[in-house]
Amino acid sequence: MDNKKVTKTIRVEEEQLACAMGSGSLFVLATPAVVALMECAAAELAQNILDSDELTTVGTQISIEHTSPTPLGAEVTAEAVLRESDGRFFYFDVTAYDNKGEIAKGTHTRVSVKAVKFQQKADGKFDEV
Q: Quick one: DSSP state of residue 117?
A: H
d(CA 69, CA 90): 29
pLDDT of residue 41: 98
Phi-psi region of 39 (alpha: psi -120 to 50; beta: other; left: phi over 0): alpha
Measured CA distances, 104 to 25, 31, 70, 93, 120 (Å): 19, 9, 11, 11, 35
pLDDT of residue 89: 98
pLDDT of residue 117: 97
pTM over 0.75: yes
pLDDT average per 10 residues of sequence, the chain (129 residues): 88 98 98 98 96 94 98 98 96 98 98 97 88
